[in-house]
Structures are given as structure tokens and as C-alpha cells.
A and B are shown apart, each in its own frame.
Chain A
């Protein structure tokens, strides 16, 4: 992974000093609440219901064992001994004290970490595929460019105060796992007809109050121009994005208002001035950064391992875990492992300090000392030998990290919701827990198969409910908490926004509502048809009919 040089280190160290002074001035009354807010937000600090919340950046989801050990220690020392992985591959601490945040950041800076631009109206953490560099369907490893974009976007002076937050995702695979279509800018890397790395640029996607999928603003961009093209897009947005209404301030609204043709015309006009300007990426810089992402020192292994095959044959519990939590790897004899942070009945994405140490140790011992966070809020050991899988499973299982539910109904994407977040209209974690408890039978979950259930506690959509096959949105009706259900959303190359099935439900009704949706699927599916395919084929009407049927009539 990328290692800081002295320039990188100086920037995070100077940031700690700057932020420490900002906190001092705020506490001394030299900065008003309004003046301090964007400063603290751009350092990941929210003021929440119970305490501040600190969001720490994990650039494109990549972590070292050393960093995770440090996060575990920081969570223990300054918080309540746990952290929460987010849907944008970051980690949040829910209970730090404002006065301690400069010290937390100083500690994190010693392991090349920071909280820069994890919130606020600026360019946020760059996200990508959790299997970058090892996925069999990968065409271009997006991490080097992601790092170059990270550096370029860090304290970009022109884009320090945008109309609204700005999210960039990069992906280099056939099957998009980075959700590029729901980002302000999505960069899809491919190899063009001249055998050069090129980028298909998506723009104007986003969830939130007005969910919109991105559109392609440019089919072919040579990689050298990634930064200057972003500058053209974001300059037009900075000048013309709506600042008069926070709900209409994202770039998606500007793209819709102008229409993609006019928007493209303005971007191209702007870019004609910026193309080949000094921020153009040089081959030297690309090579320098790419060196940090070279292949791991893999052993030459056979494609099969007898001990692994024997374990699969004799141990059905291990077999079930492998089926859901172990993924293909482009190197023979290796696999990627997802450690589930979705044990039934626990807040999705939460992890204790002890578990962090366990995961970090597993990474050190079995996966070259690195791991990844996924936007589905799980952790990944990317490079595990087949012959080590049984041991990794045993150790992970002993610490509650081996729930065999990846991609299943209980692998719920879920925001912190009303338990913590001051923006939320409703709680989301208890809904996830109730659904997990209701569907605690693994055989039944495996029979239902691949399905994505996403929950957000408000329309800001941190839980990506619009693109869940089943989406649940917390809404406020006259001061009480209700839940709206959508069906048919999907992330990936053929992304779609889900359709609302009807009036919302109370929290107590939610597990049964999900149960009824599943019943319709099981009745209607053809052979091996997945939930999303059935939902797309039959539409929402049958689901609606069954869910809203009066007792004893429709049921």
C-alpha cells in the first residue's frame, strides 16, 4: 500500500497543528459556532446526539495491520472501545471528547492516518472496489490513480468550500463494485483500442433526497488527464452549483438542470483551458505511486490444496462459511476473505478494539499485513492461502467475525441512524437487529440467496437504501418513527433506484414486512433466479399486494 514520504507526513502533521489551534480558538471563544463548523467538519468531526463523532479517513478502504492496531488503541483510550465502519470505507468513533480530538489525530498521524475532508462541503474520501488489485475480473488496478486523486484533492485551494459535499469513486473491473453510478464523479478505468489506460467518466450520480444515477459525460479520457478533467467539472460546479438551497446543491441537480449536453459543453470548454496544464499526471508520478501497489510476493502455489478440500468435505460449517465469505483471487492458490461485521443482533459495521486487534493479527500472519474495508461495511483479508483458510476461519470465528452471511439478507448495509446521528429521522440499527433476529436460520438465508437489504435513518441515504434490492428508509411522521420500503434498487453496472411500495410501516411491523416480501420472491422465482431478477421481472405489484393484504384476506 501507499507509504508516506516526508511531504505526505508533513501535510498531516501540519494539519494536526492547524486543527489543534482551531479547536483552541473555538474553545477560547475566538471562533463562533458557525465559523468553527466547516473547519471541524472538514476534519471529520460532527456534533452528535450524545457526543461528538469523529470520522477517520481510510483512503480507498486500504489499511495496514499497524493502522488497525492503532485504531483499536485509540478507540480504547479515547472512546468506548469500539468503532463503526461506514458505507464510504471510513471508520467512525462515536464517543470522543472534542478536547481530545487533536490528540487522537496526532496519534493517527504517527501511522499515516488522518480525518481530512471526511465531511463538509469538499472533495471526500476516494472510494473503490474492496478487491482492487486481486479481483479476477479486474482490468486496471485503480489504486494508484485513487492515491494520486487523494493527494490532489487534499486541501485543493479552489475547491475548499463547494456548494455541497463531493464524492468520487474509481473502479477498474468488469463488474462494478465501487458504485460509480451513485457518485458525483465516477471513474471507470479500461484499456482502450491503443492499449492505453483510459477512463469513462460518469457524473451527477448521488442518493440523498433526490436519488439520481450518474450519466457518462465522457466515454474516453486518457489517464494523464484525470485531475485536470476533474478540475473542469468541479470548477463549473463550484461556480454554478446552487448555493441558495442545500437540498438542491449537489452536482446532480446542476447536471439535471442544464441537461447533459449543455453540461458536457461547459465542461469541455473549461477543460480546453486546463488540458495539459501542470496538474496533468506524469508517467514518472504514476510509476512512483504505482510502485506502492505492486503485486504481493505471492508463492507459487497449485490451484488446489488437499487439506482445504478435506476440510470442506468434512466440515459443513466451514463449508458454509467458505461459500459466502471466501472469494476468487487472480493468483492460483490464494483467496480473499470477508470477515463479517454483521453478526446477527449487533449493529452492522461495528467492531470492538479486541476484534480490531484480532483482525490486524490475522492480516499480519496470513495476508501480507494489509486489509480492506468494504462499502458494505465488512473487512477483507485480500491475500490468504487456501491452506490457511481453515485456521483463519477458526480464529475469526472465535472472535465473532465469521458469520457466514456475506451477500445474504442479514449482511445489511446500515447507517448509525437515530441512535447516534443528529440528522436521522428514525433509528436504523434496531431495525437491522430485528430483521437479523427474525432471519436467524442460516439454511433459510442460504435458500433465499444473494440479496441486498439497505437501511438509512433519513433521506440523506448513508445506508444507500435507494440501491438496496430491498431498501428501508426511516421517516418522521408527526414526531414518530416510520419506515418506507422500496424494492428493485441495485448497485453495479446495471444500477437502478428502487420503487416505493406504498405507505410506511412502524418499527414493529418491519421484520414481518421483510418476511412477506421474501415469501413473494420464494413463490414467484424461477429455478435459480435471484431476488433482484425476480423483482425486476414481476415488478412491485405482487409484493405490494401481499405486504398490504388485510389479515385473513390476502395472506
Chain B
């Protein structure tokens, strides 16, 4: 059973995933501690992908693939022709920089999909990244959230420009769909509707 929600014209449905998520090889990372507590979040801009991880990433020979941003950049020559055939998307984690993506790809709309990996649902950077991709950098295609994606954040993700949600594997995507419509008439303008309530509705004068 697929756990992918696709949103078309504000109408969500659970769909089959036609993309293969290309993972980075796992590496042993020692838990970092700050003030006695285990560090749960990576710092924005922190370089978290090693050269050997990039080199060791297995890129499937065919099919539609979502590559890690660093792999896309460093091994571009291997997949250039597949990019042209709209078979390549990229994913980045919430601590990675959009500048890196934009510097290395002239037209981000050549990607049929960009995905943001959220390791922990409480990491609200994903909302700003979605917003920037849509409203500043004009990305028009599928924008997917994956990782620790849960029902109670879907409304915010939708409003931040995401239209594809890979709900965490142990939760029901069918149940989660309800979260997309928690509120009918939100106050502020956002990506899904740039007009704030005071411009969207007649609220009197």
C-alpha cells in the first residue's frame, strides 16, 4: 500500500510512487552532545555528506530517480542525459542550502520533482524551504516532503507550497489526508494562496 499523498487542485489522493528515492550510503556517525544533550538537528549549512558517500551512492541504471543534491552536483556527468529526459529529481535535507541547488542548476524546472527530507517533524525549516522554492525561485513541479512526515504538519506543508507528501511508513496516508483541511479559511497569505484573509474575503470596512 502506497503512503504517498498527491495533491491536485486542493484535492488529495493516495497514489503509487513512480519515483525511486536514491539514498546516501549509511555511515557510522558518533552522537554529538551539546550541554549534555544529544544533538538532534544539524546546523543549517553544515556539510553532512562525505566524498566517499557520494562516490558510493548506487545510482539505478534506469527509471525515475530522486538523487541526493550532493550526488547530483558531483556526479552530474553520469546523469546529464537522463536529466534532459525528465527522469531525474533531487532531494535535500532541511539543513542543506538552496543556494547549492541554484548554483548548480540553471533551470530548476528541469526537475519534475524536488523533495525535502525532514529527519524530525519538529524541524520547521522545511516550511521556509518550500516557500522559497515556490515563491522566490519559481519552482512549478512536484514538491515533495518525505521522512518524518505526519498528519498534524500536513496543513502547514501544503500552505508552504508542498503538493506531495510521503507519510511516514508506520502511519496511514489515508488517515493523514484529513490533516490537509484542518482549517478552511486561514488568516495569512502563504504559497497556496498569497492573499491574506482581508483580501480574500470581504470582511467589512
Contacts and interface: CB of A to CB of B under 8 A. Distances in A.
Interface of A: 5, 7, 10-11, 14-15, 18, 22, 35, 38-39, 121, 151-163, 227, 235, 238-240, 242-248, 273, 277-279, 282, 284-285, 287-288
Contacts of B186: 11, 155, 157
Contact of B35 (A245, A282, A287): A245
A235 B205 CA distance: 31
B184 A10 contact: yes
A233 to B, nearest CB: 12
A158 B190 contact: yes
B199 A7 contact: no
B179 to A, nearest CB: 9
Nearest to B97: A239
A152 B153 CA distance: 18
A158 B203 contact: no
A5 B200 CA distance: 14
B183 A14 contact: yes
Contacts of B204: 5, 288
B44 A240 contact: yes
Nearest to A34: B122
A157 to B, nearest CB: 4
B122 A121 contact: yes
Chain A at the B interface: mostly helix, strand, loop or mixed? helix
Interface stretch (B10-18, B57-65, B85-93, B125-133): B125-133
A278 B122 contact: no
A488 B54 CA distance: 57
A103 to B, nearest CB: 19
A18 B39 CA distance: 31
B150 interface: yes
B188 A156 contact: yes
Contact of B124 (A5, A7, A162, A284): A162
B41 interface: yes
Interface string B165-188: 000000000000000001111111
B152 interface: yes
A160 B205 contact: no
B196 interface: yes
A151 B188 CA distance: 7
Contact of B194 (A157, A161, A244, A278): A278
Contact of A239 (B125, B155, B159, B196): B125
Nearest to A150: B187
Contacts of A152: 187-188, 196
Given A7-B197, A151-B187, A288-B203, 17 more contacts: A11-B187, A15-B183, A154-B187, A155-B186, A157-B160, A158-B160, A159-B124, A160-B124, A161-B123, A163-B124, A239-B125, A240-B44, A243-B123, A247-B35, A248-B34, A282-B198, A285-B203
B41 A38 contact: no
A293 B182 CA distance: 31
Contacts of A244: 32, 34, 39-43
Interface in B33-53: 34-35, 37, 39-44
Nearest to B192: A157
Nearest to B193: A278
Contacts of A278: 189, 194-196, 199
Interface of B: 32, 34-35, 37, 39-44, 121-125, 127-129, 131, 136, 150, 152-153, 155-160, 182-191, 194-199, 201, 203-205
Contacts of A245: 34-35, 37, 39
Q: Which of A38, A161, A163 has the most CB of B within 10 A?
A: A161
Contacts of A11: 183, 185-187
A161 B187 contact: no
Given A5-B203, A10-B184, A246 B152 contact: no
Contacts of A7: 185, 187, 197, 201, 203
B189 A160 contact: no
Nearest to B186: A155
A287 B205 contact: yes
B204 to A, nearest CB: 5
24 contacts: A5-B204, A7-B185, A14-B182, A22-B152, A151-B197, A152-B187, A156-B188, A157-B156, A157-B160, A158-B190, A159-B124, A160-B124, A160-B127, A160-B156, A161-B123, A235-B128, A235-B131, A238-B125, A243-B123, A244-B42, A278-B189, A278-B196, A278-B199, A282-B199
Q: Which of A39, A156, A162, A278 has the most CB of B within 10 A?
A: A278
A112 to B, nearest CB: 15
Q: Which of B35, B124, B125, B160 has the most CB of A within 10 A?
A: B124
User: What 5 A-B pairs have minimum CB-CB distances, sorted nearest first?
Assistant: A161-B124, A157-B159, A243-B41, A285-B198, A245-B34
Contacts of B187: 7, 11, 151-152, 154-155
A291 B152 CA distance: 36
B122 A161 contact: yes
A239 B44 contact: yes
Contacts of A14: 182-184
B189 A277 contact: yes
Contacts of A227: 188
Contacts of A155: 155-156, 183, 186-187
